[in-house]
């Protein structure tokens, strides 16, 4: 099922430049995309990747999970950042630490 959904999304994104049809793929999937035969780079569109920070994914996990599709990945972190609140300065610092950890 995942493979057919990914292929259908990729079909919508055929053409010059990245398309606008994306997928949500957890950042903590490890090598599951590879094992399932998913070609995430062929999507040619955005991939929202929740799971950064408190759920365990970082730069290495993103690279391992998404490989050549990494330029299309939009990593998200909410638990680790929101745990620093409600102070706005603390939230900003937590967001900056997360961003810096993904460079």
Q: Residue 15 has which token pair?
A: 């053409």
CA 80 – CA 56 distance, rounded (Å): 10
Provide the 10 A C-beta neighbour count for residue 53: 23
Q: How many whole angstroms from its chain centre is CA 69?
A: 9
Mean pLDDT of 78-99: 93
How far, in Å, CA of 95 to CA of 35, rounded? 32
Tally the residues of the chain: 103
Per DSSP, what are the bridge partners of residue 24? 48
Mean pLDDT of the chain: 93
pLDDT band at 95 (very low <50, low <70, confident <90, very high): very high
- Give 39-73 pLDDT, tens digit per residue: 999 999 999 999 998 888 999 999 999 999 999 99
pTM recorded for the entire structure = 0.88
Contact 44, 19 (CB under 8 A): yes
């Amino acid at each position: 099922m995942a493979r057919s959904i990914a292929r259908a999304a990729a079909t919508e994104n055929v053409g010059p430049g990245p398309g606008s049809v994306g997928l949500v793929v957890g950042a903590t999937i490890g090598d599951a995309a590879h094992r399932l035969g998913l070609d995430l780079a062929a999507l040619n569109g955005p991939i929202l990747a929740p799971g950064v920070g408190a759920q365990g994914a970082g730069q290495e996990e993103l690279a391992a999970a998404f490989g050549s599709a990494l330029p299309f990945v939009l990593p998200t972190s909410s638990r680790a950042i929101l745990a620093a609140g409600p102070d706005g300065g603390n939230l900003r610092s937590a967001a900056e630490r997360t961003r810096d950890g993904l460079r």
